[in-house]
Amino acid sequence: MHIPFLPLADINRRYETQLQSVFSQKLQEGQFILGRSLTQFEEAFANYCGVQHCIGVGSGLDALYLIIKSLQLPPNSEIIVPANTFIAGLLAISRAGHIPVLAEPSLSNYLTDVASIERVITAKTKAILVTHLYGKCAAMHDIHALANQYQLLVLEDAAQAHGSEYQGNKAGSLGEAAGFSFYPTKNLGALGDAGCITTNNTILAHTIKSLRNYGSIDKQTYMYQGINSRMDELQAAFLYLKLQDLDAMNQRRRAIAHAYCQGIRHPQVMLPPTNTLWQDAWHQFVIRCTARTQLRAYLAAKGIETSLHYAIPPHQQEAYASYRQLNLPHTILLYQEIISLPIHPELSDTAVAYIIECINTFML
């Protein structure tokens, strides 16, 4: 049996006829930027997340950058970000003229440890950029309590958390503003690059709308030094179509995660926590194994593709060479042990059972 990690063609095939119809419709309309479909998607996704505003942009990185830029923080402000996240969070902070400060994760759930956040707060700290890693919401109650104590803003990197819930509220509604990515591999994926920002702050939303469109407030007047980052009409229309199925697709991911957690019983394999299994979006199903190289090779020989999210931590990347001397033992340990198993709506029960069987029979 061959089980690809994420067969995007299969995942999107169920929408093939509808996507072709949408494409033909948009081609006939002849409006491809800032049109009716974008407004329709923005309203629908804002309603889905339970917020007042959604602003469609060109990518998840742009979403985070535009949030930070719109806050108009003092130059070289410090913004705390998880040490075990995708590099986009750091890039957004740096691009906006500020300093990323890395906080260690908890080894129990891979999310940023609140005590670790407090240890790196200084007089220059202005915000905490929380990542809902792998589709599991961070401990927002404790993070907000800490932020209130130190008068910090709380921002969400919700790129992996479409449809995740925390205490009855969806990711994207849990901070001052949230950045989403609709990269094709996401739970709600476009057929190209796209992203959005959600917020209940009306002033912030108006600023971001201007910044995404060259800094303009109308076709002739430019209030800010903005950028060109607008979700195009095709992607907005595709995403609106797929949004209707997001809850059902996430429910399938949860069922697969439940099967993995019930079935995998290898003494050298550590499973993710299940206390919020039915609220998490399960963008990735990440296990840990001290014999990671051997397990991945064994699964590959059995026809099972796996992946690493991520292979090299941000502070060890050349782009952030000045961070290499940081002492981040939890981050290093996780990056040495984590393995992402296939998890997507098109994964069959037969494939899931086969993956479980192969992991349980793994021998060094």
Domains of the chain by start residue, with CATH: 8-104+112-243 (3.40.640.10), 246-360 (3.90.1150.10)
What residues are paired with 339 via a beta bridge?
Answer: 287
The whole-number pLDDT of residue 250 equals: 98
The whole-number pLDDT of residue 217 equals: 86
What is d(CA 100, CA 81) in angstroms, rounded to the nearest whole number? 6
CA distances from 31 to 28, 38, 210, 213, 234 (A): 9, 11, 20, 16, 10
pLDDT in tens, 272-285: 999 999 999 999 99
Place of tokens 């996430």: 250
Whether the CB-CB separation of 131 and 112 falls below 8 Å is answered with: yes
Whether the CB-CB separation of 266 and 355 falls below 8 Å is answered with: no
pLDDT, tens digit only, all 364 positions of the chain:
999 999 999 999 999 999 999 999 999 999 999 999 999 999 999 999 999 999 999 999 999 999 999 999 999 999 999 999 999 999 999 999 999 999 999 999 999 999 999 999 999 999 999 999 999 999 999 999 999 999 999 999 999 999 999 999 999 999 999 999 999 999 999 999 999 999 999 999 999 999 999 999 888 999 999 999 999 999 999 999 999 999 999 999 999 999 999 999 999 999 999 999 999 999 999 999 999 999 999 999 999 999 999 999 999 999 999 999 999 999 999 999 999 999 999 999 999 999 999 999 999 7
The whole-number pLDDT of residue 292 equals: 97
- Listed in sequence order, the DSSP H helices in 184-272 are 202-211, 233-243, 246-263
The whole-number pLDDT of residue 364 equals: 78
What is d(CA 212, CA 209) in angstroms, rounded to the nearest whole number? 5
CA 15 to centroid of chain Cα atoms: 23
pTM listed for this prediction: 0.97
Whether the CB-CB separation of 292 and 316 falls below 8 Å is answered with: no
Cβ within 8 Å of residue 273, ≥6 positions away: 108, 109
Across 263-312, where does the E strand assignment appear?
269-270, 285-289
3-state secondary structure at position 338: strand
What is d(CA 242, CA 232) in angstroms, rounded to the nearest whole number? 16
The whole-number pLDDT of residue 83 equals: 98
pLDDT in tens, 229-252: 999 999 999 999 999 999 999 999
What is d(CA 352, CA 348) in angstroms, rounded to the nearest whole number? 6
The whole-number pLDDT of residue 6 equals: 98
129: closest CA among 183, 84, 93? Answer: 93
What is d(CA 209, CA 218) in angstroms, rounded to the nearest whole number? 11
